[in-house]
Structure 1
Amino acid sequence: MIVFVTVGSTRFDALIEAAISEPVLTTLRDLGYARLILQRGNSIIEPEESNREGCYSIQRYGVDIEIWKFKPSIQAEFEQADLIISHAGSGTILDVLRLGKPLVVVPNPTLLDNHQEELASALQTLGHLKATSIQNLSSTIASFEPRDLVPFPPFDGSKFSNLIDEEMGFI
Structure 2
Amino acid sequence: MAPENQKTAFATVGTTSFDALVDQLISKDFLQTLHEQDYQRLVIQYGRGITEPQSRIVHGVEVRAYRYKPSIREDLENADLVIGHAGAGSVLETLTLNKRLLVVVNETLMDNHQAELAEEFASQGFLHWTTVSKLPTVFPALDWRNIKKYQPGKPELFAQYIDDFFGI
The answer to whether TM tops 0.5 is: yes
Number of residue pairs matched by the alignment? 152
Q: Give the alignment's Cα RMSD to 1 decimal.
A: 1.7
Structure of higher CA gyration radius: 1
Structure 1 unmatched runs, 5+? 49-55, 164-171
One of 103, 120, 123 as aligned partner of 1:122:
120
Q: Give the equivalent residue in structure 1 for 2:41.
A: 35
| Normalised TM-score (structure 1) | 0.83
Match for residue 5 of structure 1?
11
User: Which residue number corresponds to residue 58 of structure 2?
Assistant: 60
Mean Cα deviation higher: 27-36 or 58-67: 58-67
Taking every aligned residue pair, what percent have the same amino acid on both sides? 39
Q: Is the 2:107–2:131 contact (alpha carbons within 8 Å) kept by the matching residues of 1?
A: no
Match of 1:73 in 2: 71
Gaps of 5+ in 2: 1-6, 161-168
Residue number in structure 2 paired with 1:52: none
| TM-score normalised per structure 2 | 0.84
State the distance in 1 between where 2:75 and 2:107 align.
25
1:25 aligned onto 2:31? yes
Question: Which residue in the other structure is 1:148 paired with?
Answer: 146
Amino acid at match of 1:101: K
State the 4+ residue runs in structure 1 displaced beyond 4 angstroms: none
- Hey, what does 1:132 align to over in structure 2? 130
Q: Which moved more, 1:8-17 or 1:133-142?
A: 133-142
Deviation at 1:71, TM superposition (A): 0.4
Structure 2 counterpart SS, 1:122: helix
CA positional deviation for 1:153 = 1.9
Q: Secondary structure at the match of 2:96?
A: helix
